Structure 1
Amino acid sequence: MTKWMSIRVKMTALLAAAALLISVSATQPIQAQGAAFTEPLNGPNPGMFYTSDGWGNGVDFGVGWKASNQEFSNGIMALRLDNVGCPSNCSGKPYASAEYATTQKYGYGRVEARIKAAKGTGLVTSLFTYSGAAPGTSNDEIDIEILGKDTTKMETNYFTNGVGGHSTVIDLGFDASLDFHDYAFEWSPTSIKWYVDGRLVHTETGSRGPLPTSPGYIMVNLWSGAGPAEIWTGKFTYPGHPIRAYYDWIKFTPAS
């Protein structure tokens, strides 16, 4: 009798632990979601990434996304902004540009890329994660953005349940449009840490608002501000020739 009671107690404890694990996993993002990768950007990688094509974002964006504006050469990916075929072939936007994103979402870990930013008032060169607005997500985002109006600075930000307002401007100490540099952020349940060339430059702990919790697609793009966004980006004037932002590689390392 004692033996069977002991087995029953152990089984009850195991079932309780399993129920707790299921409950926690249902409300928390999977910390290691998404395997580690290094994308060398030698050419399109449709198995892991997709190129936005034939559509545009809202009124804040002055570009429509076109796959033809993504270029690969000598191990470097360029996102080209121009006015070819616009606005009729640019989703009604005055300019065209390119955007590249992973096909799956990634959770806690380190996102990084080696980038040479585009220079010019009104432009934004980016590396970010975006959970999307699909059912079951909270529209979370973590940003690295270099504004073309001052490429000696980088802007960090995050959105949780669509709520932002956590922007911080970092003085880089160099001109990001002149050469490649490494930009990264590490996301955990308790913090987001941003790095430049391996140096920690900013940390958020949730003191200014809850941190993101939803895994997101890893994305890069080049765009010009329009409408309300011009207050932030400045007004873009096309210089009469294509403008490019360059990416050497993109990496993800899941949290241990």
Structure 2
Amino acid sequence: MKIEVAQNTGTQQTCSNAQSEDVPHKPLVAGELRTKFNMFRYGRYESRMKAPMVQPGNPNVDGNFVSTMFVFRDASFKHWREIDVEVTGRAPGAISTNILTADYQAKWKPSMQETDYPISYQHMNVRSEFHDYAFEWLPGVIRWFVDGKLVREKHNDRLKVPDKSAKIMMNLWIYRAMRPRVVFGGTHLENDRFPMQSEYDWFRFYKWDGDNMYPPADMSSKALTEDDMYLTSNNPCDGIPQIGEVLKYGQKLKPCVATCR
């Protein structure tokens, strides 16, 4: 699989079905993979991935991008849950691991995140070579691995390890901060050349034997709870009704309506 980010020369509907809110026109457009439902939980998640070169043929040029493999739930509005592997444009070996957890939080804030940068940047180039990324998500503990090596272990402490099911996601995005110095994803936004691509050789999920609920044995949504189905539609073409109100800044808002095209 290749995910590409490019200059946005087209027009899109303002309604983001996945976020259930109106989004203004963006200068860039990119692809994303999402599983249909919040039906994955404890187990091992693995991907073999190569991050983008911000300039063709030169993997040593630093820029700005975030290339990912992660689990995510609820479009931020009800139960914001994430366990992330993020490869960024900060340096040739820039890899970070994240956990985010919050309830009824519409926008990110530092207190809902714990991030670690475990890799020595000198010994690998994530843009010129494929590398294996994995995390094991179990009750009360998450372990992250790079090329089979354990690089981080997180237990229940300031932030609790998520216990709710989630979607599997992979995407590529550029962080354009409204300030001179861009920090997240890399400080050299001026070096980016588009289009740029991240590549995925494979992805694997191994269910933990101790989880009797997720994913359901028949891999259907029939056994999922009402809470699992909250705002679960990813796009207006997937045939899944968008159920639930958007809870934002103390208000209950109806989901925006996008049409399949």
TM-score w.r.t. the length of structure 1 is 0.63
Q: Show structure 1 runs of 5+ residues with no match.
A: 1-76
Cα RMSD, aligned residues only: 2.3
1:125 aligns with 67
1:107 aligns with 41
**How many Å separate the matches in 2 of 1:170 and 1:219?**
22
2:215 aligns with none
5 Å-filtered alignment, 1:17-36, equals none
1:166 aligns with 114
* Correspondence 1:79 to 2:3: yes
Which amino acid in structure 2 is aligned with residue 167 of structure 1?
A: T
2:152 aligns with 202
Alpha carbons of structure 1 residues 206 and 95: separation in structure 2 relative to 1, 3 Å: same
**How many Å separate the matches in 2 of 1:212 and 1:146?**
22
TM-score w.r.t. the length of structure 2 is 0.62
Instruction: After TM superposition, give the deviation of residue 238 of structure 1 in Å.
Output: 6.5
**How many Å separate the matches in 2 of 1:237 and 1:244?**
17
1:156 aligns with 97
2:50 aligns with 116
Percent of aligned pairs with the same amino acid? 29
5 Å-filtered alignment, 1:1-12, equals none
**How many Å separate the matches in 1 of 2:44 and 2:198?**
22
Post-superposition Cα deviations, 1:57-114, rounded to whole Å, max 9, x if no partner, equal xxxxxxxxxxxxxxxxxxxx1111111415x459611111111111123011111111
Do 1:99 and 1:221's aligned partners in 2 also have CA atoms closer than 8 Å?
yes
5 Å-filtered alignment, 1:1-256, equals 77-85=1-9, 88-89=11-12, 92-105=25-38, 106-120=40-54, 121-133=63-75, 138-161=79-102, 164-171=112-119, 173-227=123-177, 230-233=182-185, 234=187, 236-237=189-190, 239-256=192-209
**How many Å separate the matches in 2 of 1:241 and 1:94?**
11
**How many Å separate the matches in 1 of 2:138 and 2:125?**
29
Which amino acid in structure 2 is aligned with residue 148 of structure 1?
A: G
**How many Å separate the matches in 2 of 1:222 and 1:186?**
22
SS at 1:104 equivalent: coil
Instruction: After TM superposition, give the deviation of residue 178 of structure 1 in Å.
Output: 0.9
Question: Structure 1 segments of 4 or more deviating over 6 A?
Answer: none
Q: Show structure 2 runs of 5+ residues with no match.
A: 14-23, 55-62, 104-110, 210-261
**How many Å separate the matches in 2 of 1:180 and 1:140?**
27
**How many Å separate the matches in 2 of 1:194 and 1:152?**
16
SS at 2:87 equivalent: strand
SS at 2:80 equivalent: coil
Do 1:119 and 1:149's aligned partners in 2 also have CA atoms closer than 8 Å?
no
User: Which range is displaced more, 89-98 or 173-182?
Assistant: 89-98
Post-superposition Cα deviations, 1:146-197, rounded to whole Å, max 9, x if no partner, equal 1112131210010122553310002153111111111000001120000111
Looking at both structures, which has the greater relative contact order when contacts are Cα pairs under 8 Å and sequence separation is at least 6? Answer: 2
In terms of fraction of residues, the more helix-rich structure is: 1
Do 2:48 and 2:132's aligned partners in 1 also have CA atoms closer than 8 Å?
yes
Q: Would you say how many aligned residue pairs link Structure 1 and Structure 2?
A: 178
1:30 aligns with none
SS at 1:209 equivalent: coil
**How many Å separate the matches in 2 of 1:251 and 1:217?**
14
